[in-house]
Structure 1
Amino acid sequence: MAQGTNRAVSRRRLLAGSVAGAAGLAGVAAAGSATRTPRTVSDTRPAAAGGVRLRWLGNNGWEIRFDTSNGTRTVLIDPWLTRFHTGTYSTAGADPNTPITVDTATIDRYALKADHILVTHGHYDHMTDVPYLASRTGATVLGTESHVNMMRALGAPADQLSVVRGGEYLECDGYTIRVLRSLHSMTGPRAQVPFPGTRPGAPPRRPRVISDLVEGETLAYLVTVGDVGVVDFGGSNFSAADLAGVRPTVALVPAGGGSIHSYVPRLLDALGHPGLVLPTHWDDFDYPLDQPARDWGGLSTLHSAVTAASPDARFTVLDHLETITV
């Protein structure tokens, strides 16, 4: 969809194509409003030095925590805690003129820490809270030139922002980050990227509505701690050529991809069929993070595709704020 159009975008229609609902898959509540205590899921593999703890923050938000000789380190991916109402998964779809809001009280309540924040792309449900979280945590933030320019326009501390393009392989304190060129979902009847575009050169005027936050190119990330590698994709698409040699322990795989040829089988082939697959970007984010995740309609299809392509892989569904240790 071209920047500036007023036509609503339905993510249910665009991401999924035709998918079946997944009520109760792997014990995940499909609806409900009661606040609940998140559980912790343990992997059966032995874990060194306390293991790598992955907590799902809803949508494509992830917290990766682990211990090093210098203390606990935390990497966040696409953290979006505000979750303002957009109607994205409704029949009408998201209103491009939905105002951007950042609920600092909600963000503060979760008291996240971070050494790095990794941005996969510039859409509102991936990047809106990052500038405030960067200021709050002092984390180094990785993103493309467009992502960095939009975050600067949203008030992010410029000296904490690092421009990456894909191909970077960073040595950190007890872990590495490999930045991978990737692709956003191309969906709908004409296989289009919602809110496309870039923001090169300099920060734009301050984004006010969700259509101001354009894709800005898409990245994936491989975070490796010892013998545990976690790869994350912010959209249901990928560049196989850029995954050469990437053999993660854990793959965070978005639901959707209905317009992408053999999306799941090709992805798992390119990754060497990791032993653990965690679905991501499958919940309707019009509901708060402290409520059970509600499937927008892609979870069952993703589960079936992973089972068919990698029958030996574990497909584990986390609810909001739940943790798995690997």
Structure 2
Amino acid sequence: MDERLSRRGLLGAGAAAAALLTVPATTASASAPKPGASRMTLRWWGNNGWEIRVPSADGRSEKTVLIDPWLTRFKTGTYTPQGADPKTPLSVDRALIDHHVDSGQLRADHILVTHGHYDHLTDVPYLAERTGATVFGTETHLSLMAALGAPEDQLAVASGGEYFAFDGYTVRILRSLHSATGARAQVPFPGTRPLSRRDRPQTIEDLLEGGTLAYLVTGGGASVLDFGGSNYVESELAGLAPDVLLMPTGGAAVAGYAARLLGVTGYPRYVAATHWDDFDLPLTDPPKDAGGLTALRDAVAAASPGSRFVVLDHLGSFVP
């Protein structure tokens, strides 16, 4: 079943009501999750940017986890025939981030970084500074963020295999793989750098992949598994059964990408598309399919027909 839920305006103060736009006639209506189904709320900030909100252990406050938040979305030409210009300068829209933080629309207790590329990491150092969040990432990711001005006492190194308990939620960190592209199945901007380096990255090619992580976040009666790229380490996922799989488009170079991933994760109840929009466009614009959404929808329908396929508009949210 294919769900598309409503868009929340980037600068709007009110919450957007979830609205079902297309549901096959043979399926049951799912225009809104049943009250009490879980106490986890997922909100999509475009690309692979996700906000996960759950209640604290005592239920008196709300905890927020961000994954790969990138609000600035400067133009790179990634989805043009020429591809991204590696010399594109890095920039951070601090006024935009300040607006969301100061208005209370955006906060974070933890920020989870899947890999070091510009569309995943660029905004994280300033968001960490503004929110006080603890940031997880590999040594390369932390080296890049420290060089970009992130508060170093808020940076926590991870390599995959960690399993942490916090106030009302757990974070399980998994070894993963970046998308493989082109005829030779290569990773864009590969490489690593040690924590001892402090030269400041200037262009998008300076933000190295630096290893890729996946994250399983559990809290509020639900669990969600996120990948920053369309590849994975299948053995790392054995035994996991997330309620929500945040599944990137792509994966053409990966043998059995969708079928294997859905199978090893137990055919999740919800499969939410991620990393599918043209991120040269601002969050104030409706998301534009960069070319892989239909193929992902079809692959999920073929491999896991019982899963609900969720497509959100920018800043849209749903409760699993």
TM-score, with normalisation over the residues of structure 1?
A: 0.87
- Provide the residue aligned with 1:79 in structure 2: 69
CA contact (8 A) 2:113 2:137 kept: yes
> Which one-letter code corresponds to 1:192 in the other structure?
Q
Q: Does 1:115 align with 2:105?
A: no
Q: Does 1:234 align with 2:224?
A: no
Aligned counterparts, 1:242-281, within 5 A: 242-281=236-275
Deviation at 1:303, TM superposition (A): 0.2
Q: 1:35 to 1:73 in 2, by over 3 A?
A: closer
Write out per-residue CA displacement over residues 22-68 of structure 1, whole angstroms, 9 at most, x where no aligned residue: xxx86589xxx9998873436535536x7111000000000111222
CA contact (8 A) 2:54 2:168 kept: no
SS in 2 for 1:241: helix
Q: 2:49 aligns with which of 38, 58, 61?
A: 61
CA contact (8 A) 1:38 1:319 kept: no
Q: 2:166 aligns with which of 149, 156, 172?
A: 172
Structure 2, unaligned stretches of length 5 or more? 19-30
- Provide the residue aligned with 2:126 in structure 1: 132
Within 1, Cα distance between the matches of 2:10 and 2:100? 18
CA contact (8 A) 1:35 1:292 kept: no
Q: Does 1:214 align with 2:208?
A: yes
Within 2, Cα distance between the matches of 1:38 and 1:263? 35
- Provide the residue aligned with 2:180 in structure 1: 186
Over aligned residue pairs, what C-alpha RMSD do you find?
Answer: 2.0
Aligned counterparts, 1:246-325, within 5 A: 246-325=240-319
> Which one-letter code corresponds to 1:77 in the other structure?
I
- Provide the residue aligned with 1:47 in structure 2: 36
CA contact (8 A) 2:117 2:208 kept: yes
- Provide the residue aligned with 2:27 in structure 1: none
- Provide the residue aligned with 1:10 in structure 2: none
Deviation at 1:107, TM superposition (A): 1.1
SS in 1 for 2:296: helix
- Provide the residue aligned with 2:192 in structure 1: 198
Deviation at 1:296, TM superposition (A): 0.4
Deviation at 1:106, TM superposition (A): 1.1
> Which one-letter code corresponds to 2:246 in the other structure?
L
Q: 1:185 to 1:156 in 2, by over 3 A?
A: same
Within 2, Cα distance between the matches of 1:238 and 1:40? 34
Q: 2:82 aligns with which of 69, 88, 92?
A: 92
CA contact (8 A) 2:54 2:169 kept: no
Within 1, Cα distance between the matches of 2:197 and 2:10? 41
Deviation at 1:244, TM superposition (A): 1.7
Within 2, Cα distance between the matches of 1:162 and 1:34? 30
SS in 2 for 1:317: strand
SS in 1 for 2:312: coil
Write out per-residue CA displacement over residues 246-299 of structure 1, whole angstroms, 9 at most, x where no aligned residue: 110000000011111110101011101111000000000011001100000000
Within 2, Cα distance between the matches of 1:144 and 1:47? 36
CA contact (8 A) 1:186 1:237 kept: yes
Over the matched positions of the two proteins, sequence identity in percent amounts to: 59
CA contact (8 A) 1:86 1:98 kept: yes
Within 2, Cα distance between the matches of 1:54 and 1:28? 12
Within 1, Cα distance between the matches of 2:304 and 2:145? 38
Q: 1:174 to 1:35 in 2, by over 3 A?
A: closer
- Provide the residue aligned with 2:23 in structure 1: none
Aligned residues: 298
Which structure carries more relative contact order (alpha carbon 8 Å, separation 6+)? Answer: 1
Within 1, Cα distance between the matches of 2:17 and 2:109? 23
Write out per-residue CA displacement over residues 133-169 of structure 1, whole angstroms, 9 at most, x where no aligned residue: 0000000000001100100000000000000000000
> Which one-letter code corresponds to 1:120 in the other structure?
T
Q: Does 1:147 align with 2:141?
A: yes
Within 2, Cα distance between the matches of 1:211 and 1:234? 18
